[in-house]
Chain A
Amino acid sequence: GAGVSQSPRYKVAKRGQDVALRCDPISGHVSLFWYQQALGQGPEFLTYFQNEAQLDKSGLPSDRFFAERPEGSVSTLKIQRTQQEDSAVYLCASSYRDLTTYNEQFFGPGTRLTVL
């Protein structure tokens, strides 16, 4: 079975451009997470969806970051007016159940965003 997929794998943007990063979670997974991973650091939480509901967006660094999961499956992370400090790997993860139950998060390969 397919795991979590993300596209594009690499994205180069000029400062000020908007970008959209896509995540296809494992089919049937209720929970979807976005993380930001700076070079040499651990993943940092951005936002969490339970089905189509965005229940936690406390990790989004600014109002330039927006995420959606309109049908409870595919999710898109959008960054408006990109800045150099947005350069990082953006990881998506999904899990079978909601956050009230401990269960494995399956990660995608990430999208490496470079802002010039």
Chain B
Amino acid sequence: GENVEQHPSTLSVQEGDSAVIKCTYSDSASNYFPWYKQELGKGPQLIIDIRSNVGEKKDQRIAVTLNKTAKHFSLHITETQPEDSAVYFCAASRAGTALIFGKGTTLSVSS
């Protein structure tokens, strides 16, 4: 079955810096890759997703890139703000299967 590895487990940046979180997946048939943000005491919230027919997607300060050959995808947050501090999860799936999540990255943005 699918296995998703996520790095780093913790990331500390200064306000205004960029943050990058990387994930690798094992199932070459996976073709949907969402990223979720989870704040303390809340459920995960989708922030961006990408399908395997595109290599990059942007939404304001957030971007995701996908390398199907290497089976890895990354989340890029630019101009980080303190409110970006949270746990971020990557996930992967293919049609008809449930999401498989990485173990999460705790992002801390200090002002």
> How many residues of A are counted as interface, with CB atoms below 8 angstroms from the partner's CB atoms?
24
B13 within 8 A of A: no
The reply to whether B43 and A42 form a contact with Cβ atoms under 8 Å apart is no
- Supposing A41-B104, A102-B32 touch, asked if A59 and B45 sit within 8 A by C-beta, the answer is no
The interface size of chain B toward A, counting residues with CB under 8 Å, comes to: 25
Which residues 71-116 of A have a CB within 8 angstroms of B? Answer: 91, 93, 99-102, 104-110
Rounded to whole angstroms, the CA-CA distance of A110 and B32 in the bound complex is 24
B44 engages A33 (CB within 8 Å): no
- Chain B residues contacting A4 (CB-CB under 8 Å) are 43
- Check B98 against A48 for contact (C-beta < 8 Å): yes
Q: How far is the CA of A77 from the CA of B41 in the complex (A)?
A: 20
User: A91 CA to B45 CA in the complex, in Å?
Assistant: 12
Q: Is A99 touching B104 in the complex (CB atoms < 8 A)?
A: no
CB distance from B49 to the nearest CB of A (A): 7
Q: Are B89 and A43 in contact (CB under 8 A)?
A: yes
A66 at the interface (CB under 8 A from B): no
* Cβ 8 A contact of B98, one of A99, A104, A107: A99
> Given A40-B104, A102-B49: A91 and B44 within 8 A (CB)?
yes
A43 to B103, CA, bound (A): 8
Distance between A49 CB and nearest chain B CB, rounded to angstroms: 11
With both beta carbons as reference points, the residue of chain B lying nearest to A89 in the complex is identified as B43
How far, in angstroms, from A109 to B45 measured CA to CA in the complex? 10
User: Any chain A CB within 8 A of the CB of B54?
Assistant: no
Q: Is A18 an interface residue (CB 8 A)?
A: no
Bits for B20-59, please: 1 = Cβ < 8 Å to A, else 0: 0000000000001010100001111110010100000000
A contact set with B: CB distance below 8 Å: 4, 33, 40-45, 48, 56, 59, 91, 93, 99-102, 104-110
